[in-house]
Amino acid sequence: MSTATPRPRQTTPAKKAGRGRPPASERVNDTASPEQDILDVATREFAEKGFAGARVDAIAESTRTSKRMIYYHFDSKEGLYLAVLENAYRRIRRIEQALELGDLPPEQALRRLVEFTFDYHVDNPDFVRLVMNENILHGAYLANSQDIASVNRSAIDSLTAVYERGRQAGVFRKGIDPVDLHMSISALCFFTVANRHTFSLGFKRDLTSPQALAQRRASVVGMVLRDVVP
Protein backbone atom coordinates (compact mmCIF):
# COMPACT_ATOMS: atom_id res chain seq x y z
CA MET A 1 0.00 0.00 0.00
CA SER A 2 1.64 3.19 -1.17
CA THR A 3 2.06 6.20 1.09
CA ALA A 4 3.24 8.57 -1.62
CA THR A 5 1.82 12.08 -1.43
CA PRO A 6 -0.61 12.54 -4.32
CA ARG A 7 -0.99 15.40 -6.69
CA PRO A 8 -4.62 14.88 -7.67
CA ARG A 9 -5.84 16.19 -10.96
CA GLN A 10 -9.38 17.44 -11.37
CA THR A 11 -11.50 15.17 -13.52
CA THR A 12 -13.22 16.81 -16.44
CA PRO A 13 -16.89 15.82 -16.77
CA ALA A 14 -17.37 18.50 -19.42
CA LYS A 15 -14.84 16.73 -21.62
CA LYS A 16 -16.84 13.53 -21.40
CA ALA A 17 -20.09 15.36 -22.02
CA GLY A 18 -18.57 16.78 -25.17
CA ARG A 19 -18.31 13.25 -26.51
CA GLY A 20 -22.05 12.83 -26.07
CA ARG A 21 -21.54 10.35 -23.19
CA PRO A 22 -22.75 10.66 -19.59
CA PRO A 23 -20.09 10.69 -16.84
CA ALA A 24 -18.74 7.28 -15.91
CA SER A 25 -20.26 7.61 -12.44
CA GLU A 26 -23.70 7.46 -14.05
CA ARG A 27 -22.92 4.31 -16.03
CA VAL A 28 -21.29 1.98 -13.51
CA ASN A 29 -24.46 0.05 -12.63
CA ASP A 30 -24.49 -1.74 -15.99
CA THR A 31 -22.62 -4.91 -15.06
CA ALA A 32 -22.33 -5.94 -18.72
CA SER A 33 -20.70 -2.66 -19.78
CA PRO A 34 -17.00 -2.29 -20.62
CA GLU A 35 -16.82 0.47 -18.01
CA GLN A 36 -17.98 -1.85 -15.23
CA ASP A 37 -15.54 -4.55 -16.32
CA ILE A 38 -12.75 -1.98 -16.08
CA LEU A 39 -13.97 -0.79 -12.68
CA ASP A 40 -14.07 -4.34 -11.29
CA VAL A 41 -10.48 -5.03 -12.30
CA ALA A 42 -9.29 -1.55 -11.32
CA THR A 43 -10.85 -1.97 -7.88
CA ARG A 44 -8.63 -4.95 -7.18
CA GLU A 45 -5.56 -3.23 -8.61
CA PHE A 46 -5.99 -0.03 -6.59
CA ALA A 47 -7.00 -1.91 -3.44
CA GLU A 48 -3.91 -4.11 -3.55
CA LYS A 49 -1.34 -1.54 -4.67
CA GLY A 50 -2.73 1.89 -3.82
CA PHE A 51 -2.94 4.74 -6.29
CA ALA A 52 0.81 5.11 -6.88
CA GLY A 53 1.49 1.41 -7.22
CA ALA A 54 -1.45 0.55 -9.49
CA ARG A 55 -0.72 0.31 -13.21
CA VAL A 56 -3.22 1.11 -15.95
CA ASP A 57 -1.32 -1.29 -18.23
CA ALA A 58 -2.04 -4.13 -15.79
CA ILE A 59 -5.71 -3.19 -15.65
CA ALA A 60 -5.92 -3.14 -19.45
CA GLU A 61 -4.30 -6.58 -19.70
CA SER A 62 -6.93 -8.05 -17.37
CA THR A 63 -9.98 -6.55 -19.08
CA ARG A 64 -11.76 -6.87 -22.40
CA THR A 65 -10.39 -3.51 -23.48
CA SER A 66 -7.19 -1.52 -23.99
CA LYS A 67 -5.32 1.24 -22.20
CA ARG A 68 -6.54 3.65 -24.86
CA MET A 69 -10.16 2.70 -24.18
CA ILE A 70 -9.65 3.06 -20.44
CA TYR A 71 -8.58 6.64 -21.02
CA TYR A 72 -11.51 7.13 -23.39
CA HIS A 73 -13.97 6.13 -20.68
CA PHE A 74 -12.20 7.69 -17.67
CA ASP A 75 -9.82 10.31 -19.14
CA SER A 76 -6.84 9.45 -16.94
CA LYS A 77 -5.52 7.24 -14.16
CA GLU A 78 -6.82 9.82 -11.70
CA GLY A 79 -10.25 9.74 -13.30
CA LEU A 80 -10.32 5.94 -13.15
CA TYR A 81 -9.28 5.91 -9.50
CA LEU A 82 -11.98 8.41 -8.57
CA ALA A 83 -14.58 6.38 -10.48
CA VAL A 84 -13.47 3.28 -8.55
CA LEU A 85 -13.93 5.08 -5.24
CA GLU A 86 -17.35 6.42 -6.20
CA ASN A 87 -18.43 3.01 -7.48
CA ALA A 88 -17.35 1.35 -4.23
CA TYR A 89 -19.41 3.73 -2.12
CA ARG A 90 -22.34 3.62 -4.52
CA ARG A 91 -22.45 -0.18 -4.31
CA ILE A 92 -22.68 -0.39 -0.52
CA ARG A 93 -25.30 2.37 -0.42
CA ARG A 94 -27.36 0.66 -3.11
CA ILE A 95 -27.43 -2.59 -1.14
CA GLU A 96 -28.27 -0.70 2.07
CA GLN A 97 -31.30 0.78 0.35
CA ALA A 98 -32.50 -2.72 -0.52
CA LEU A 99 -32.61 -3.80 3.14
CA GLU A 100 -36.15 -2.39 3.50
CA LEU A 101 -35.51 -1.23 7.03
CA GLY A 102 -38.76 0.70 7.07
CA ASP A 103 -40.68 -2.57 7.13
CA LEU A 104 -39.07 -3.65 10.41
CA PRO A 105 -39.58 -2.51 14.01
CA PRO A 106 -36.90 0.08 14.93
CA GLU A 107 -34.72 -2.15 17.11
CA GLN A 108 -34.83 -5.00 14.60
CA ALA A 109 -34.09 -2.56 11.77
CA LEU A 110 -31.03 -1.21 13.56
CA ARG A 111 -29.83 -4.73 14.29
CA ARG A 112 -30.22 -5.68 10.64
CA LEU A 113 -28.30 -2.59 9.51
CA VAL A 114 -25.39 -3.30 11.86
CA GLU A 115 -25.27 -6.95 10.83
CA PHE A 116 -25.28 -5.99 7.17
CA THR A 117 -22.52 -3.43 7.68
CA PHE A 118 -20.36 -5.96 9.50
CA ASP A 119 -20.92 -8.67 6.90
CA TYR A 120 -20.29 -6.29 4.01
CA HIS A 121 -16.92 -5.20 5.37
CA VAL A 122 -15.86 -8.78 6.05
CA ASP A 123 -17.00 -9.97 2.62
CA ASN A 124 -15.52 -6.98 0.74
CA PRO A 125 -11.98 -6.38 2.02
CA ASP A 126 -11.14 -4.46 -1.18
CA PHE A 127 -13.61 -1.79 -0.08
CA VAL A 128 -11.79 -1.48 3.23
CA ARG A 129 -8.41 -1.27 1.50
CA LEU A 130 -9.64 1.40 -0.90
CA VAL A 131 -10.89 3.52 1.98
CA MET A 132 -7.64 2.97 3.89
CA ASN A 133 -5.58 3.99 0.87
CA GLU A 134 -7.61 7.13 0.28
CA ASN A 135 -7.29 8.10 3.94
CA ILE A 136 -3.52 7.70 3.69
CA LEU A 137 -3.76 10.18 0.83
CA HIS A 138 -5.84 12.50 3.07
CA GLY A 139 -8.89 12.09 0.84
CA ALA A 140 -7.14 14.02 -1.93
CA TYR A 141 -8.90 12.31 -4.83
CA LEU A 142 -12.31 11.84 -3.24
CA ALA A 143 -12.31 15.59 -2.61
CA ASN A 144 -12.73 15.98 -6.38
CA SER A 145 -15.95 13.95 -6.42
CA GLN A 146 -19.12 15.79 -7.30
CA ASP A 147 -21.27 12.85 -6.19
CA ILE A 148 -19.86 11.37 -2.99
CA ALA A 149 -21.77 13.63 -0.58
CA SER A 150 -25.13 12.78 -2.15
CA VAL A 151 -24.23 9.09 -2.43
CA ASN A 152 -23.39 8.83 1.27
CA ARG A 153 -26.35 10.98 2.27
CA SER A 154 -28.64 8.00 1.72
CA ALA A 155 -26.92 6.13 4.56
CA ILE A 156 -27.61 8.95 6.99
CA ASP A 157 -31.17 9.39 5.77
CA SER A 158 -31.93 5.69 6.29
CA LEU A 159 -30.35 5.59 9.73
CA THR A 160 -32.10 8.81 10.73
CA ALA A 161 -35.47 7.34 9.73
CA VAL A 162 -34.84 4.23 11.83
CA TYR A 163 -33.64 6.25 14.80
CA GLU A 164 -36.54 8.69 14.69
CA ARG A 165 -39.07 5.87 14.60
CA GLY A 166 -37.37 4.28 17.60
CA ARG A 167 -37.13 7.56 19.50
CA GLN A 168 -40.78 8.38 18.94
CA ALA A 169 -41.76 4.87 20.04
CA GLY A 170 -39.68 5.26 23.19
CA VAL A 171 -37.37 2.34 22.42
CA PHE A 172 -34.32 4.48 21.54
CA ARG A 173 -32.85 7.10 23.85
CA LYS A 174 -32.96 10.77 22.93
CA GLY A 175 -30.07 12.95 21.86
CA ILE A 176 -28.26 10.64 19.43
CA ASP A 177 -26.68 12.20 16.36
CA PRO A 178 -27.30 9.84 13.39
CA VAL A 179 -24.00 10.84 11.77
CA ASP A 180 -22.12 9.98 14.97
CA LEU A 181 -24.04 6.71 15.23
CA HIS A 182 -23.17 5.88 11.62
CA MET A 183 -19.51 6.61 12.38
CA SER A 184 -19.55 4.29 15.39
CA ILE A 185 -21.13 1.45 13.43
CA SER A 186 -18.67 1.92 10.56
CA ALA A 187 -15.67 2.13 12.89
CA LEU A 188 -16.51 -1.08 14.74
CA CYS A 189 -17.03 -3.00 11.51
CA PHE A 190 -14.13 -1.42 9.63
CA PHE A 191 -11.60 -2.19 12.37
CA THR A 192 -12.45 -5.87 12.24
CA VAL A 193 -11.07 -6.03 8.69
CA ALA A 194 -8.53 -3.20 8.62
CA ASN A 195 -6.66 -4.32 11.75
CA ARG A 196 -7.30 -8.03 11.85
CA HIS A 197 -3.78 -9.10 10.91
CA THR A 198 -1.92 -6.87 13.35
CA PHE A 199 -4.50 -7.47 16.09
CA SER A 200 -4.34 -11.22 15.56
CA LEU A 201 -0.56 -11.20 15.80
CA GLY A 202 -0.46 -8.85 18.77
CA PHE A 203 -3.06 -10.68 20.84
CA LYS A 204 -2.65 -14.23 19.52
CA ARG A 205 -6.25 -14.44 18.37
CA ASP A 206 -7.36 -15.51 14.91
CA LEU A 207 -9.89 -12.92 13.79
CA THR A 208 -10.48 -14.65 10.45
CA SER A 209 -12.05 -17.86 11.72
CA PRO A 210 -15.83 -18.27 11.36
CA GLN A 211 -16.17 -18.64 15.11
CA ALA A 212 -14.21 -15.46 15.84
CA LEU A 213 -16.13 -13.49 13.22
CA ALA A 214 -19.49 -14.68 14.56
CA GLN A 215 -18.46 -13.73 18.09
CA ARG A 216 -17.21 -10.33 16.97
CA ARG A 217 -20.36 -9.72 14.92
CA ALA A 218 -22.58 -10.38 17.93
CA SER A 219 -20.36 -8.16 20.08
CA VAL A 220 -20.58 -5.23 17.62
CA VAL A 221 -24.36 -5.53 17.36
CA GLY A 222 -24.62 -5.67 21.14
CA MET A 223 -22.45 -2.59 21.68
CA VAL A 224 -24.47 -0.50 19.23
CA LEU A 225 -27.83 -1.56 20.65
CA ARG A 226 -26.72 -0.99 24.23
CA ASP A 227 -25.70 2.54 23.27
CA VAL A 228 -29.03 3.31 21.59
CA VAL A 229 -31.59 1.39 23.65
CA PRO A 230 -32.16 2.98 27.10
pLDDT greater than 50 at residue 13? no
Q: Are 138 and 144 in contact (CB under 8 A)?
A: no
State the average pLDDT over residues 87-102: 96
Three-state SS annotation for 13-31:
HHHHHHCCCCCHHHCCCCC
| Range in 15-19, 88-92, 98-102, 185-189 with the lowest mean pLDDT | 15-19
Confidence of residue 14 (pLDDT cuts 50, 70, 90): very low
Closest CA to 98 of 79, 116, 85: 116
pLDDT in tens, 31-77: 458 899 999 999 999 999 999 999 999 999 999 889 999 999 999 99
Task: Calculate the CA dihedral of residues 190, 149, 92, 74 and round it to 10 degrees.
Answer: -110
State the average pLDDT over residues 112-122: 98
pLDDT greater than 90 at residue 23? no
Q: Which residue has the higher pLDDT, 134 or 18?
A: 134
pLDDT greater than 60 at residue 4? no
Radius of gyration over every alpha carbon of the chain, rounded to an integer in angstroms = 19
State the average pLDDT over residues 216-225: 98
pLDDT greater than 80 at residue 117? yes
Confidence of residue 6 (pLDDT cuts 50, 70, 90): low
Query: At residue 150, what are phi and psi to the nearest 5 degrees?
Result: -70, -35
Confidence of residue 222 (pLDDT cuts 50, 70, 90): very high
At 32 the pLDDT is 54
> Long-range pairs for 208-214 at CB < 8 Å and ≥24 separation?
213/122
pLDDT greater than 50 at residue 1? no
At 7 the pLDDT is 52
